[in-house]
Amino acid sequence: MQSHPLFKCQEAFLSANGLYKSVSLPRTVFWRAGERKQVMNNINLRLYPGERVGLVGLSGSGKTTLLRSLLAIEAPDTGSITCLHKTVRPASTAKLRWYRRAVQYIPQDPGASLDPRMSVRALVAEPLIRLNVDCAPGERAREALEQVGLDARFLDRLPHELSGGQAQRVAIARAIATRPRFLLADEPLSGLDLPVRAQVISVLKKLCDESGTGLLMVSHDLSVVTQLCQRTLVMDDGKIVEDRSTAALWRAPHHPTTRSLINAVAQLPTRAHPNCNAAELEAL
């Protein structure tokens, strides 16, 4: 298994090989079946321990489908997904409890994903109980909240008593409670204003750096990706069209989609991204 240039000495933690997925488009006439669109077209992907990766692309490029496949929520038509040499797809959902502990999900809208009837304590402890994690759920929930900058006062609050930034931190605490090896996040900053967004970015970066947890973050905003991610994948029409260090991609975008995403940002960075050094850029 080949390593990425930025992670030459490491073996991939999570791998996707030859993923294809097509969906039916709405019928234009009722007597004729709708056409099919390829939303994943020969996707090959390697994620390495502890790295922070951005997955960007225009709407409809296949980002969410790829994320759902990596989460083992949606099955690709063909292809395989492996984690630590174990098969994730194709595999029975009932046999993936080990994978649910190792890979956790941060949702886009915590307000919709957090049960309004459950306390923060119960919400953060729920995956520990469901996945039979050997720990004291209440104590682990308190610890996870502290990791995201929320103290014990929040344990008995309900979701409607939280601000948007606090709710997103609870969603992150819920994801890290099982002490996963990798986090998969779907636009986790899109609904937050700029000051709160900066705080959540700081929380995610600190968590990854201190615990060695990896992160794959789906986003349409390259300016967010540059603040957090060492490597960036660009998707277009169901394919990964760029896979490079974030600094190299910003300096010299190769694909028209990448250039359009960069042009959508009001101010472009004038120097290399701090997560990448000159030697890494030269290697690419």
Per-residue pLDDT at 283 exceeds 60: no
DSSP structural state of residue 123: H
All structural domains of the chain with their residue ranges = 5-283
Confidence grade of residue 10 (pLDDT, cut at 50, 70, 90): confident
Can you tell me the distance from the alpha carbon of 32 to that of 45, in angstroms, rounded to the nearest whole number? 36
Give per-residue pLDDT as tens, 225-249: 988 999 999 999 999 999 999 999 9
Can you tell me the distance from the alpha carbon of 232 to that of 249, in angstroms, rounded to the nearest whole number? 8
Q: What is the dihedral of CA 97, 230, 253, 271, to 10 degrees?
A: 160
Peptide bond into 116 cis (omega under 30): no
CATH architecture of 5-283: 3-Layer(aba) Sandwich (3.40)
Can you tell me the distance from the alpha carbon of 40 to that of 60, in angstroms, rounded to the nearest whole number? 11
pLDDT confidence of residue 33:
66
